[in-house]
Structure 1
Amino acid sequence: MPRWPKPPEGSWTEHYPELGTAPMPYEDSISPEYFELERKAIFGRAWLNVGRVEQLPRTGSYFTKEIQAAKTSVIIVRDTGGEVRAFHNICRHRGNKLVWNDLPREETSGMCRQFTCKYHGWRYGLDGQLNFVQQEGEFFDLDKQDYGLVPVHCDVWSGFIFINLAAEPEQTLHDFLGPMITNLDGYPFEKMTERWCYRSEVGANWKLYMDAFQEFYHAAVLHGSQSPAKFSAAAQQAGFEAPHYRLEGPHRLVSTSGVITWELPGDMRKPMEDITRSGLFGPWDEPDLGMEKMPVGLNPAGCDPWGLDSFQLWPNFTILIWSGGWYLTYHYWPTSYNTHIFEGNLYFVPSTNARERVAREMAAATFKEYGLQDASTLEATQSMLESRAVTAFPLCDQEILCRHLHKVAADWVEDHRRNLAGA
């Protein structure tokens, strides 16, 4: 029978008195006016992860990212010097979207030597410089040096590509991430290039889905059907309490112990898990990651067995590192006050045989099901929050990260309001 770790003495929340313990309002998740403030206060100022360097394998590789919360589209490209650059996806002539395929609101990717506008044929180099103007002599005092693509601040940490849409970022990427995140340096993200992706349009505020993935109070109930009945019954009776929470600046961490699935009694595993050697949190066979020791930022609670660390990077990016030698990312891209795009990506060391491939596919299907179960409550939550029949809700100690997320959002919005008032 699995034993869940006991909670620490006292509570986690009491160590962060600025969060308080009062019931929480959710007006920030149901107000169109508040969302309009979030656009500039948060998504116009924070460092945003838009992908990984493996998506740009060679010179001229590019992809686009639609950031509706900031009302823009961005091109991310590897230039001739190997540098990763970012530009607003707009032609300097008449404002046409520069890079798109059949549908201009859909993201795209590919490889090219230059970017050519579909409208009038202006051409831009991989460095953003304007190289060619159709019938240039028809223009008045046009200097091509003045009409390059509009750059976006771009930086890379551990292979993760971040952009910042502010005219001038308030912090470097390294300072923005802080030690809790940068202490993951040395983890071999770059070795995990086998990727499984899923994407969904969700009818709920972006913060509500983040809340669903940053507490495990719901796990034994909402995800009970993911495990055999005997295991689920035991989990529901015991509940689940994570052994470690941490807040640092705008970011959050929850770390959990694990379960050695293949050591559980046979009636506490699913037959398909035995067949594929995968399930209840990933493939059973761990790859050789070539690490002598883990980075200091992993498993801060010293769990044995360790399960996962879930790093919630402000504002809308999550990295979950699993003890089995793989990792998972989530993105939450707002499209309105009560809708957003959810993206999930699973990353593995490339399979070397059919069994490994099937195990990864099993893990991908399992986590898609977890995501669907979490998402199943969101539209119901959104609709009833918007009724305002109840305006404040009690949160338990395990929901400390939810309190923190909404407080950080409120702090950034209030800071933005102060800046507007002082302008």
Structure 2
Amino acid sequence: MAHFPKPAAGSWTENWPELGTAPVDYTDSIDPEHWKLEQQAIFRKCWLNVGRVERLPKVGSYFTREMPSVGPGTSIIIVKDKDGVVRSFYNLCRHRGNKLVWNDYPGEEVSGACRQFTCKYHAWRYALNGDLTFIQQEDEFFDVDKADYGLKPVRCEVWEGFIFVNFDDDAEPLIDYLGDFAKGLEGYPFHEMTEVYSYRSEIRANWKLFIDAFTEFYHAPVLHMKQAVKEEAEKLAKIGFEALHYDIKGQHSMISSWGGMSPPKDESMVKPIERILHSGLFGPWDRPDIKGVAADELPPAINPSRQPFWGQDSFEFFPNFTLLIWAPGWYLTYHYWPTGVDTHIFEASLYFVPPKNTRQRLSQELAAVTFKEYALQDANTLEATQTQVGTRAVTEFPLCDQEVLLRHLHHTAHRYVDEYKEANGLTKAATNGSTAHV
């Protein structure tokens, strides 16, 4: 295993002086009024990733997404229309407001394919582009023009096969919002990695606390000791873990790390089943036979410091989309969908090139189940964090240099809330003083 010298304190944080070095106030993770402001200022204003284009393989393919982070009951339809355009609409009939697309249970997400959408209540019909095409007993209505009652659209744009929506009609274009990180990732073969394993869990912790856990590796040799064999765990606990590179561009950030090398330099340091299947927590060891994943083929945003021992990059696209790209040629996504100040839905998906044989399939499955254990360890710890921060006995906490992206996340979330309050004439008194600053 390669060892990297510990940099001097402040070697990363000092690059972004606006973040400061003082303890960070975590009131933003426990104040219900602040959460309500985040809902309006962030989740109704920012671009939100809702899936991949592979979920829409043909004309008429659709899926729904429940969006409690945007507002109670909010549901949307994402569909590929007859021209191949990916569109999004509120999942709501324009007649009497019934939920338009659902199966047995209105609260569950569904997917499928159709030629048109038909309301279960009174059979109003809508084309794939949202136009109202049929009104049952139309002559019973008073001066109704079907052109005025199409489905209400939600802004929808696609980047590198990732589908994003935005509930703010005045928001900047997606590519401008995603910025330099996204431009530097263009060309990576995401479209080749269509074998997907997904997990979803309801977490009793604030959405930012979970992102905090995945933007630093300071905890890795402690919390995840049991993921490694005894000798490796002891080494990690002793020397700690230092990332290779951090970067911040506007509201987005990234962390680059060693680890995930393929294959490991010392196979005796991994578990027997990992040696047999050539896989583990960092994914399959054997690189897929596709273009775009070799070290000399990677887009410029990946492994930006060009480290020979690079293993993975984690891109944090604000507010709630994490994209991890692994050296062996696969990627992982996280989504954090807040449902309240101290609850959120965590979604994780692992994307691989489809296996060509049984060994490759088992290699991917081992990575998926190993990852699940790893993520549950983080989730369990964060629920314990939420209960104690919620007591307000202590609300300010010191962060080390490795936790610079945590500072950035809370700073950015506050900035959005502060700008929203200023634009809407909200005073500190009107919001119950819920504007504690980082």
Structure 2-normalised TM-score? 0.94
Q: Name the counterpart of 2:99.
A: 97
Which piece of structure 1 moves more, 336-345 or 259-268? 259-268
Equivalences for 1:296-375 in 2 at 5 Å? Answer: 296-375=300-379
Q: Distance in 2 between matches of 1:173 and 1:402?
A: 24
- What code does the residue aligned with 2:34 have? Y
- Equivalents in 1 of 2:200, 2:264: separation in Å? 33
Partner residue, 1:248: 249
* Residue in structure 1 matched with residue 59 of structure 2 by the alignment: 59
- Deviation for aligned residue 1:305: 1.9
Unaligned runs of 5+ in 1: none
* Contact preservation (8 Å) 2:52, 2:162: yes
Q: Deviations over 1:128-157 (max 9, x none)?
A: 000111111111101000000001111000
Q: What secondary structure sits across from 1:387 in the alignment?
A: coil
Structure 1 segment 112-127 matched on structure 2, within 5 A: 112-127=114-129
The question of whether the paired residues in 2 share the 8 Å contact of 1:183 and 1:296 is answered with: yes
Match of 1:152 in 2: 154
* 1:244 Cα deviation from its structure 2 partner: 0.5
**8 Å CA contact retained: 2:260, 2:327:** no
Shift of 1:235: 0.5
The DSSP-based 3-state class of the residue aligned with 1:68 is coil
Give 1:5 deviation, angstroms. Answer: 5.2
1:180 aligns to 2:184 (yes or no): no
Q: Which amino acid in structure 2 is aligned with residue 327 of structure 1?
A: Y
Is this contact kept in 2: 1:115–1:125, CA < 8 A? yes
C-alpha distance in 2, partners of 1:188/1:347? 11
- Normalised by the length of structure 1, the TM-score is 0.97
Q: Which stretches of structure 1, 4 residues or longer, exceed 2 Å deviation after superposition? A: 4-10, 258-267
Which residue type is aligned with residue 308 of structure 1?
Q
Q: 1:35 to 1:10 in 2, by over 3 A?
A: closer
What secondary structure, in the 3-state scheme, does the structure 1 residue paired with 2:200 have? Answer: strand
> Paired residue for 2:287?
286
In the alignment, the residues of structure 2 paired with residue 218 and residue 110 of structure 1 have an alpha-carbon distance, to the nearest angstrom, of 41
Structure 2 alignment gaps of length 5 or more: 428-438
Letter in 2 for 1:83: V
Tell me which amino acid in the other structure corresponds to 2:191.
E
Whether the 8 Å CA contact 2:335–2:348 is kept in 1: the answer is yes
Secondary structure of 1:183 counterpart: helix
Mapped contact 2:64–2:76 kept (Cα < 8 A): yes
- 1:378: which partner in 2? 382
| 1:144-223 equivalences in 2 (<5 Å) | 144-169=146-171, 171-223=172-224
Q: Are 2:260 and 2:312, in contact at CA under 8 Å, matched by a contact in 1? A: no
CA distance in 1, matches of 2:264, 2:420: 52
The aligned counterpart of 2:86 is: 84
Q: d(CA) in 1 for partners of 2:207 and 2:426?
A: 29
Asked whether the equivalents of residues 256 and 307 of structure 1 are also in contact (C-alpha less than 8 Å), the reply is yes
Contact 2:260–2:283 under 8 Å retained in 1: no
C-alpha deviation, 1:101, in angstroms: 1.1
Distance in 2, matches of 1:119 and 1:74, equals 18
**Overall identity of the aligned pairs, in %:** 58
Measure, in 1, the Cα distance between the counterparts of 2:319 and 2:116: 32
Q: Distance in 1 between matches of 2:215 and 2:52?
A: 23
Deviation at residue 368 of structure 1 after TM alignment: 0.7
- The equivalent of 2:237 in structure 1 is 236
* Partner SS for 2:390: helix
C-alpha spacing 1:62/1:324, structure 2 compared with 1 (3 Å): same
The 8 Å contact of residues 6 and 243 in structure 1, kept in 2 or not, is answered as no
3-state SS in 1 of match to 2:24: coil
In 2, distance between residues paired with 1:54 and 1:15?
39
Following superposition of structure 1 onto structure 2, how do residues 3-152 of structure 1 map, counting pairs within 5 Å? 3-4=3-4, 6-7=6-7, 10-71=10-71, 72-152=74-154
Residues 5, 64 of structure 1: CA spacing in aligned structure 2 closer, same or farther, 3 A cutoff? Answer: farther
The count of aligned residue pairs is 422
Residues 259 and 55 of structure 1: CA distance in aligned 2, closer, same or farther (over 3 Å): closer
CA contact (8 A) 1:64 1:76 kept: yes
Which amino acid in structure 1 is aligned with residue 280 of structure 2? G
Contact 2:82 2:128 in 1 (8 A): yes
CA shift, 1:167, in A, is 2.7
The AA in structure 2 aligned to 1:204 is A
